[in-house]
Structure 1
């Protein structure tokens, strides 16, 4: 009996030590080798958003973003151009891969980091049109959306690209309501909302008329 108590105490101590170590060092993400330098540069640029940004947090976010996009690229089986990818999803040959789905999955993955010095926003351009694109925008905590960093994959064939909001070729606006809906839906595990995308609004109506 005495030995069982000792063994149990040792096991409990080992588990608590592992938990503390994990909390101290944070989660680990498998960044593809070809993306490691890009992840390091993204971390530097995120840290440069404000003197208030924690460098370790910026590094964690960058690594999570690259690892997540690499995983989604495999899951989505990205093929061809972004619009052709939409075509495959629209006709049921692929389950996911619309621009908003890339953004939803990346946003939710980054949310798990419980960021304290950085904030995540939902960005969109040409909302409600065939040109619509969505992205995650990262800002320092309390910083204006227009000063943030765009994280986008759909436009780049499933590879993460990033740049500051003002430098993008398209004008992006924040949509906090949609971001909240995504988070609420994920938390409640409700059914997905069917959101209009480029291929649905531009191509499908033409095909219905026999084009």
Structure 2
């Protein structure tokens, strides 16, 4: 009963904090924000192509906005999740954002960047599991990359170096799925995450 009350209180607080985006979705990333993410992607490794970093940054911001409109985001993330789970909204769970962002970034065929999937709070009893996409320099681990997370702010892109994310302790999706018994072996490329 206490957990239910805590959850309801959290939902009420989060819904009060949510900006109603409406038909036009959340604010788009500014040129300065896109440039800052591009610079951080370039800083991952000297071999990162500046044009790829710029393209990945722009896609991360613009696709977050596009998905927010497609998912009909008008509430805080947890409120929207409840609506998706009740069938009132088409998509918008964190795993949807992560799947769609990963797929969109992978369409670019980056040569010097790599896209990973990460999961946080997988084994936490009182915390909700969360998924996101991560961009790293080609050949680097997910832990060395930058998380691009449009879910946590309802379509407004949050990004951070993985180890510096103030909210989530990210882990490779493959490791989490293996621990849950969802995968027994890896196909080439899946071990990286």
- Do they superpose with TM above 0.5? yes
Unaligned runs of 5+ in 1: 1-31, 182-211
Shift of 1:33: 6.2
Cα RMSD for the two superposed structures: 1.9
Report the counterpart of residue 33 of structure 2 in structure 1.
Answer: 38
Report matched runs for 1:124-163 at 5 Å.
124-127=119-122, 130-163=127-160
1:65 aligns with 2:63: no
Distance 2:68 2:76 in 1: 13
Report the counterpart of residue 168 of structure 1 in structure 2.
Answer: 165
Distance 2:65 2:118 in 1: 21
Unaligned runs of 5+ in 2: 1-26, 178-182, 184-193
Q: Does structure 2 conserve the Cα–Cα contact (< 8 Å) formed by 1:121 and 1:176?
A: no
**Which structure carries more helix by proportion?**
1
Q: 1:59 and 1:34, CA in 2 relative to 1: closer, same or farther beyond 3 A?
A: closer
1:174-205 CA distances to partner (integer Å, 9 max, x unpaired)?
Answer: 11487xx9xxxxxxxxxxxxxxxxxxxxxxxx
Shift of 1:34: 4.8
Distance 2:76 2:82 in 1: 10
1:54 aligns with 2:49: yes
Distance 2:98 2:28 in 1: 23
1:60-112 CA distances to partner (integer Å, 9 max, x unpaired)?
Answer: 11111111111111111112211100111111110101000011111100011
**TM-score normalised by structure 1 residue count:** 0.66
1:138-181 CA distances to partner (integer Å, 9 max, x unpaired)?
Answer: 11011122111010011112111100011112210011487xx9
